[in-house]
Chain A
Amino acid sequence: MNTISAIQQFIQNPYNDYGGHMQTFLIICLLAIVWSVVIAVPLGVLAAQNRRIAFLATNISGLGRAIPTIAFFGFATTTALGIGIKPAVIALIVLGIPPILLNTIAGLQGIDPAVTDAARGMGMTPVQALLRVQLPLVVPVVAAGVRTSAVQIVATAPLAAIIGAGGLGDYILGGIGLVSLIGPAEVLVGVIPVIALALLTEYGLAALQRALTPVALRQSAQRAPVGAASAQNGKGVMAA
């Protein structure tokens, strides 16, 4: 039977408030992703102006990535934030920032110096050079960072349930202990959409990344390894 009908029943049971949990989960993910981008891209732009700051930012980010997210969740609850959605989103933002930050810095630093020099020499203001030349050139690399970051956030967000944020994690964490008693249905209603969302994020953002990449750089818009030299450096940007 019955796993399938059990899942159906579980979802349809108003007492389980499936829609509400799904909504909470999506909101947590969306907030975390959007804030990661909003914080990490400008931070990366600023950090890339100065070699020492860039070095520092890169290393702190690397360190941050080594700390398990569960520790962030735990730590967040010890602060004034307490438990709930807010500390969960903040912990996920901390998780989401490094890939975007690293790629923004690496992308900007990987731009052929002759190109930025030409922008300056033509009389572009620093803001014009950034908006017209530098950012378009690093869009593929930054987008690759956003993709990595978003997938990590979606995959980690169920854990937010342990600090009372709610969402699909409630079913997974709550259901694990009950598998032997009432079957896997409750775990599955949590796990399946999380997997689906992670895949959707991965492929959806890959498409977005392609769409955002300037036509001239399309060929080389592959996924850049986080923290490695920029993707377009070898091909799109001409060597002197």
Chain B
Amino acid sequence: MAKIEFVHVTKQYPGTTRAAVDDVSLTVAEGTLCMLLGTSGSGKTTLLRMINRLIDPSAGQILIDGKPTTEQDPIALRRSIGYVIQQIGLFPHLTIAENVRVVPNILGQPKDATAARVDALLNLVGLDPAEYRNRFPRQLSGGQQQRVGLARALAADPDLLLMDEPFGALDAITRERMQDELRRIQRDVHKTIVFVTHDVQEALKLGDQIAVMSDGQLVQAGPPAELLLHPADDFVARLLGADNPLSLYEHVSVATLLEPLAGATGGPIDAATPVLQALLTLVQTSAAALAVSRDGTVVGQVSLDGIQRRLRAAPGQKTPPLPINA
């Protein structure tokens, strides 16, 4: 349970002339993953830290499950929210296990009750507990420390997780694995996650919703496919690479290109399958069309012809041709 609503939230730091976060209204539905995407300095961290009251807004309010955060004790609020900070910030004098246990510990949970959970979390983030639980942070690489930071944020099993560029220090392979893990965790336990990133591919891959920030303002928010298909302005289009069919069809599902069923020889594939993957299957299997199903029921088809027609429809155009059921 954790739905977040930003209602006209503004933050202006003392002594600055411009608001770091400027009149942002945004809703993050319960159990979804919202990516805050924007360039450095666009106000992502500030917006994130207002959720657990590390920063208080200058104007507007934030509601969690309908309740204004200002009506809650900030200490209790923070304990109930997992937070992965951008600079990692592990406690250097504590072992990895002690670092992970910090929140259960201050919540008064007994040590032996949390020991098994610590091991499970270390496994989850890909660190062998036997090898790492008694090490100190300085004996780990930056990427490993970042994974411990994620385990620490998950330790008290919070409904709401705030992640500030959590995979920034990871190599490409580990980052991909962690992204997959996060997606799996989120699908299994339905945490509400607000995830800050400046990496467009990461945002497209992970987000149920992407909120694009620029100069403190929320430019556009919506599901990745919607942003790719209907970017609010040039900035969003350029940022997401919406004019690149490859990027577009990697993240847009076949549901947007659905045709009435007519002699599909392949499939069925799920309606959520990216167009690019369907295209690959079409080419590999030499099928003319693939049946598309949703929840086990066939709802139509995608064909090589149809995709071709769509791609040819408006050559050289900046925004892509709009499919029928966007």
Contacts and interface: CB of A to CB of B under 8 A. Distances in A.
A121 interface: yes
A238 B140 CA distance: 10
A236 B83 CA distance: 23
Contacts of A187: none
Interface string A120-139: 11111100100011001100
A230 B321 CA distance: 61
Contact of B152 (A117, A122, A128): A122
B85 A117 contact: yes
B75 interface: yes
Interface string B37-59: 00000000000000010100000
Interface in B90-121: 90-95, 102-103, 106
Given A235-B138, A238-B137, A238-B138, A123 B103 contact: yes
A112 B85 CA distance: 13
B88 A122 contact: no
Contact of B92 (A113, A121, A236, A240): A236
Nearest to B164: A121
A103 interface: no
Contacts of A119: 91
A231 to B, nearest CB: 13
Contacts of B76: 123
Contacts of B152: 122
A121 B138 contact: no
B89, B106, B138 pick with most chain A CB within 10 angstroms: B89
Interface string B152-182: 1000000000000000000000000000000
A114 interface: yes
A121 B78 contact: yes
B132 interface: no
Contact of A122 (B87, B102, B136, B145): B102
A41 B89 CA distance: 25
Given A123-B79, A238-B145, A118 B91 contact: yes
A202 to B, nearest CB: 25
Most buried by B among A118, A125, A133: A118
A20 B89 CA distance: 54
Given A122-B152, A123-B103, A237 B54 contact: no
Contact of B54 (A112, A115, A120, A215): A120
Nearest to A113: B87
B103 A115 contact: no
A74 interface: no
Interface residues of B, number: 28
A114 B136 contact: no
A216 B93 contact: yes
A237 B95 CA distance: 13
B235 to A, nearest CB: 29
Nearest to A237: B92
Contacts of A117: 54, 85, 87, 89
A216 B94 contact: yes
Contacts of B94: 216
B93 A121 contact: no
A152 interface: no
A124 B106 contact: yes
B91 A133 contact: yes
Contacts of A217: 92-93
Nearest to A115: B89
A240 to B, nearest CB: 4
A114 B91 CA distance: 9
Given A120-B54, A216-B136, A128 B106 contact: yes
A216 B138 contact: yes
A214 interface: yes
29 contacts: A114-B85, A114-B88, A115-B92, A117-B85, A118-B88, A118-B89, A118-B90, A118-B91, A121-B52, A122-B106, A123-B78, A123-B79, A123-B80, A123-B106, A133-B93, A214-B93, A215-B93, A216-B92, A216-B94, A235-B138, A236-B93, A236-B138, A238-B90, A238-B92, A238-B137, A238-B138, A240-B86, A240-B87, A240-B89
Interface of B: 52, 54, 75-80, 83, 85-95, 102-103, 106, 136-138, 145, 152
Given A122-B102, A216-B92, A240-B89, 16 more contacts: A112-B87, A112-B89, A115-B92, A117-B54, A117-B87, A118-B85, A121-B83, A121-B85, A124-B75, A124-B106, A216-B93, A216-B94, A236-B92, A236-B93, A238-B138, A240-B87
